[in-house]
């Protein structure tokens, strides 16, 4: 992967931050994107202190024009593009009764439409640049596979990502682009910050290790999906859930 150019969204925190770090350690020229400018600065500092290559761009992934400009920025900066990790996301927690069409649309713009925008603009760019072995990795969730009253929008978005990953793989195989996803269980990141401690303790017990996942454990699977070792994996959503779905 040395010398490749890969965009990571949601790079200011959690899984995105750890993936940016791991890919940069492989010699990838990472382009990190997020709405959190301060978090992107922390990422730049952490990587540059270790002489690792990183560029960042403040981007709201719910806006197609911003994702288009992110993809242009990455490709123009390095004269190539090898992949994108569509990972930025927000949590839900709003009961179905309190969701309305406007807030439904807003949530899906960030958690689902953003993934389409990343797939669309990165695929067009890789087609135009005649990229060999392009890769797209998306972040789904175990919530792609079950519902909950306070996760109506989130589960809808994450279920769609599993489907978009399959259809995307079929559509882009002609261009040599692989499309895969990860479906993590609960990860100890900023996303769960507002979840009450007693609920976290209940969730911890649903993982076979009795604890939440760490962001770097998920990032290692993402790194695998970008690496040549996963050449035979395409259209797949890999569960990264420490047995959560196996036993619940």
Ligand X SMILES: NC(=O)c1ccc[n+]([C@@H]2O[C@H](COP(=O)([O-])OP(=O)(O)OC[C@H]3O[C@@H](n4cnc5c(N)ncnc54)[C@H](O)[C@@H]3O)[C@@H](O)[C@H]2O)c1
Catalytic residues: 154
| Beta carbons within 8 Å of 199's beta carbon, 6+ residues apart | none
- Contact with ligand X (CB under 6 A) among 19, 110, 112, 180: 110
* Segment 129 to 148, residues that bind ligand X, using CB under 6 A: 139, 141
Q: Which of 44, 60, 72, 204 binds ligand X (CB under 6 A)?
A: 60
Per rule CB under 6 A, is residue 192 in the interface with ligand X?
A: yes
Residue 150 neighbours by CB distance under 10 Å: 17
Distances (CA, A) of 243 to 67, 163, 210, 212: 34, 22, 10, 12
Instruction: Please report how close the Cβ of residue 174 comes to ligand X at its closest, in angstroms.
Output: 28
Long-range contacts of 99-104 (CB under 8 A, 24+ apart): 99/152, 99/153, 103/153, 104/153
What's phi and psi for 5, nearest 5 deg? -115, 115
> Total number of residues binding ligand X (CB under 6 A)?
30
Place of tokens 């949601």: 10
Q: Which is nearer to ligand X, 139 or 237 (CB)?
A: 139
Using CB under 6 A, pick the residue from 19, 56, 62, 94 that binds ligand X.
62
Binding site for ligand X (CB under 6 A): 9-10, 12-16, 34-36, 39, 59-62, 87-90, 110, 139, 141, 184, 186-187, 189-192, 215
């Amino acid at each position: 992967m040395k010398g490749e150019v890969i965009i990571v969204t949601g790079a200011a925190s959690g899984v995105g931050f750890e993936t940016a770090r791991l890919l940069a350690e492989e010699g990838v020229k990472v382009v990190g994107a997020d709405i959190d400018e301060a978090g992107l600065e922390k990422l730049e500092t952490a990587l540059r202190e270790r002489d690792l290559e990183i560029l960042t761009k403040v981007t709201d992934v719910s806006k197609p024009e911003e994702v288009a400009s992110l993809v242009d920025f990455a490709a123009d900066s390095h004269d190539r593009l090898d992949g994108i990790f569509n990972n930025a996301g927000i949590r839900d927690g709003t009961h179905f009764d309190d969701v309305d069409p406007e807030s439904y649309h807003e949530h899906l713009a960030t958690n689902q439409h953003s993934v389409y925008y990343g797939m669309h603009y990165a695929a067009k760019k890789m087609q135009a640049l005649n990229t060999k072995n392009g890769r797209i990795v998306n972040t789904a969730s175990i919530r792609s596979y079950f519902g909950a009253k306070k996760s109506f929008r989130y589960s809808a978005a994450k279920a769609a990502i599993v489907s978009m990953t399959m259809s995307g793989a079929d559509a882009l195989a002609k261009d040599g682009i692989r499309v895969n996803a990860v479906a993590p269980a609960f990860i100890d990141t900023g996303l769960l910050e507002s979840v009450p401690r007693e609920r976290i303790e209940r969730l911890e017990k649903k993982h076979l290790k009795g604890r939440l996942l760490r962001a770097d454990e998920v990032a290692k699977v993402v790194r695998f999906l970008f690496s040549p070792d996963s050449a035979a994996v395409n259209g797949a959503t890999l569960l990264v859930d420490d047995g959560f779905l196996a036993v619940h």
